[in-house]
Structure formats: C-alpha cells, structure tokens
C-alpha cells in the first residue's frame, strides 16, 4: 500500500477565489442533510476549509482534517477570522481516522480519497463506514478511467487502478486512483447507492478530467 502523501498546499494561492468559495455540491447536500436532521459532519481532506467553514456557518457540528499541516493551519486561521467554530480540526490520515465508531451523520471527501492506491482506497472506505452512523451518508469523488490523466502516457503505474502524478505542481508524487462503472458496483457493495454520476469537465488547457461523484448510504 502506498504511503499517504499530503497535497502541497503551500504552492496554492491562499487568496484565490476558487479556494474561498464552497464547492458547488455542498450547497445541495447542506439542504438535503438539514432536512434529514443530520448534525455531525466530517470533511475528509479539508484543504483550506472552504466546505468545513460553510457547513459550520449553517448549523452543522463540524469535524475536519487534512494530511497537510499547512492546510490545517490556513483552515484554522480562516475559521478564526470569520468567527466560525469548528468542533475538531486536526492533521490526520484518512487511512486511520481519529474518530469513534458510528459518530458522523454525513461525510464529504472531494478530490481526496482517490489520492491512494487500491489497498488504500479500500481501507479508506472501511474507515468511512466505521465512523458513519447507521443511515448516515457520504459523498465523495474519485477519478474515472475516462480521464485525460489516466490515459496520458505520463505517470508511474502502481496497480491496475493507480498512477503517481509526475508533472510539476501540488500533486507531484501523489498517487491517483481511477475506476470504471464495473468497479463502482464492486467497490461500494457494502453501502446502499443513492447516486453515482460520471462527470466530465473540460479545462481551459483543452484536456479534461472525469470523476465519479459518489453518494452512498450506510
């Protein structure tokens, strides 16, 4: 199993608009989870805290972690600046989450749990299931094998699902896990599938990324 490696958040502009607005998915999830009276929320791989802070502002009891000490530092600073309380914010590894069993109502992990290999991905899913309450829900993204980067000749192969990115930038040296439709049915069979979408996004550079958006219930 590949050792977990943090995203190099020090290379990212902390004031960039993208990292200071919640992700588009979180607005809808917030409404659905409030209707279900979900309260305890976990943000796996919080980065600069854009989704953690948003959910705390909207009445959720928020726990968040990231493998990057710098990312956690910036999240703490931003929360303090906006006078937002995060119940628990720490540096941690998704492979061994520092939480008790069946604690969270809802969990997000956006562009995070695919930063591992097959064994790491399966272990992370077990950890999510462990900390999620019965009836709780998780929403995460994972790379699709239709993606530009899976089919690009660069990258160091690790297993039949994983390549290590080698281009310059914050993801250099970090493994990326990619799956297809058939893999979804095999990997997620310990959960009830609420919704799975394969979304293709064209970038300004003319290539595209393709990710599964996976919404599961325990």
> Which residues, listed in sequence order, are joined to residue 195 by a DSSP beta bridge?
215
Contacts for 80-86: CB closer than 8 Å, 24+ residues apart = 82/53, 82/57, 84/53, 84/56, 84/57, 85/56, 86/49, 86/52, 86/53, 86/56, 86/62
Please report whether residue 40 resides in a domain. Answer: yes
Which pLDDT does position 202 carry in this prediction? 79
Please report whether residue 3 resides in a domain. Answer: no
How does pLDDT run along the chain (218 residues), one tens digit per residue? Answer: 888 999 999 999 999 988 989 999 999 999 999 999 999 999 999 999 999 999 999 999 999 999 999 999 999 999 999 999 999 999 999 999 999 999 999 999 999 999 999 999 999 999 999 999 999 999 999 999 999 889 888 899 999 999 999 988 999 999 999 999 999 989 999 999 999 999 988 776 667 789 999 999 99
Task: Specify the CATH number for the domain of residue 116.
Answer: 3.40.50.150
Instruction: Write out the residue range of the structural domain in which residue 28 sits.
Output: 9-217
Which pLDDT does position 65 carry in this prediction? 98
Beta strands in 56-167, from DSSP E residues, in sequence order: 61-66, 88-91, 104-109, 132-144, 156-159, 162-164
Which pLDDT does position 206 carry in this prediction? 65
d(CA 43, CA 89): 10
Determine contact, residues 80/112, Cβ cutoff 8 Å.
Answer: no
Nearest CA among 174, 172, 171, 170 for reference residue 162: 174
Please report whether residue 2 resides in a domain. Answer: no
Please report whether residue 191 resides in a domain. Answer: yes
CA angle 132, 48, 204 (to 5 degrees): 105
Q: What's the structural domain count of the chain?
A: 1
pTM for the model: 0.96
User: Which three-class secondary structure state does DSSP give residue 76?
Assistant: helix
């Amino acid at each position: 199993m590949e050792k977990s490696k943090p995203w190099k958040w020090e290379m990212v502009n902390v004031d960039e608009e993208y990292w200071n607005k919640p992700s588009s998915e979180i607005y809808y999830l917030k409404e659905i989870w409030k209707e279900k009276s979900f309260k305890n929320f976990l943000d796996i791989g919080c980065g600069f805290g854009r989704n953690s802070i948003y959910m705390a502002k909207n009445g959720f009891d928020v726990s968040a972690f990231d493998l990057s000490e710098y990312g956690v530092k910036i999240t703490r600073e931003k929360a303090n600046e906006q006078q937002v309380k995060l119940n628990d914010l720490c540096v941690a590894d998704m492979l061994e989450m520092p939480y008790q069993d069946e604690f969270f109502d809802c969990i997000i992990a956006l562009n995070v749990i695919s930063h591992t290999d097959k064994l790491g991905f399966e272990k992370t899913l077990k950890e999510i299931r462990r900390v999620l309450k019965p009836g709780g829900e998780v929403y995460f993204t994972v790379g699709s094998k239709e993606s530009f980067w899976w089919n690009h000749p660069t990258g160091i192969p690790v297993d039949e699902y994983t390549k290590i990115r080698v281009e310059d930038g914050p993801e250099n040296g970090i493994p990326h896990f990619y799956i297809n439709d058939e893999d979804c049915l095999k990997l997620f069979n310990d959960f009830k599938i609420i919704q799975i979408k394969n979304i293709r996004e064209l970038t300004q550079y003319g290539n595209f990324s393709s990710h599964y958006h996976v919404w599961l219930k325990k």
